[in-house]
Chains A and B, each alone.
Chain A
Amino acid sequence: QVQLQQWGAGLLKPSETLSLTCTVYGGSLNGYYWSWIRQPPGKGLEWIGEINHTGRTNYNPSLKSRVTISLDTSKNQFSLNLSSVTAADTAIYYCARATIKRADPWGQGTLVTVSS
């Protein structure tokens, strides 16, 4: 059964770059999109973007200028970089395996707080 485990810095200052990594256990990167989704405290889910095993990416237009999602097939990992963060980027960030139909499973979530 595929499991996703994510990690990264939990406290950032404004203007810094958020970096998170998600490792895929028990399955291949092939045939799926690998997604990042976030959830501000007490609010709903927002799709950030995704990458497939060929390196093709799709991004949320509202975040596209600041987002980079990358893949490391040798480590079965994918990563999220979000530049120039502000307090509005404070959220729980989730990684997930996705297809056109569904997102499943999800990582455990990482709370990232942006504060000076």
Chain B
Amino acid sequence: QSALTQPASVSGSPGQSITISCTGTSSDIGGYDYVSWYQQHPGKAPKLIIYDVSTRPSGVSDRFSGSKSGNTASLTISGLQAEDEADYYCSSYTRTNTRLFGGGTKLTVL
């Protein structure tokens, strides 16, 4: 099974909005609304920030939002802050009862 496809890097200035895409197939992202997103700061374990495509866990800023269209999911971060600089990973449940992660996107806040 191939990893989900994410851009290697994105960047934005404080206050701006950025969007990270995550592309899969009809066997994973396109087939289920079970897309999740994780934020990982250097040396730390990943942290869940979005699940069920667009649901934020308690305590996660409403500057983070998720969406999906067809086989592509997206994470949007609005009002960029320095603390948002991190790696971001998407994940999806699959038709074969496995899970896939994206390759990860490094967000740089300029």
Instruction: Note all chain B residues with C-beta closer than 8 A to A43.
Output: 104
Sort A-B residue pairs by CB-CB distance and give the 10 closest, nearest first. A102-B51, A104-B48, A44-B104, A45-B101, A106-B45, A47-B99, A44-B103, A58-B97, A101-B51, A102-B36
Check A44–B48 contact: CB distance below 8 A. Answer: no
Q: How large is the interface on A (under 10, 10 to 19, 20 to 34, 35 or more residues)?
A: 20 to 34
Q: What are 17 A-to-B residue pairs whose CB atoms are below 8 Å?
A: A44-B101, A46-B3, A46-B101, A47-B98, A58-B98, A60-B1, A101-B36, A101-B51, A102-B36, A102-B48, A102-B57, A103-B38, A103-B91, A104-B48, A105-B48, A106-B45, A106-B46
Q: Which residues of B line the A interface, CB within 8 A?
A: 1, 3, 34, 36, 38, 45-48, 51-52, 57, 89, 91, 93, 96-104
Interface residues of A (CB under 8 A from B): 35, 37, 43-47, 50, 58-62, 94, 98, 100-109
Q: Are B1 and A94 in contact (CB under 8 A)?
A: no
Q: How far is the CA of A94 from the CA of B44 in the complex (A)?
A: 11
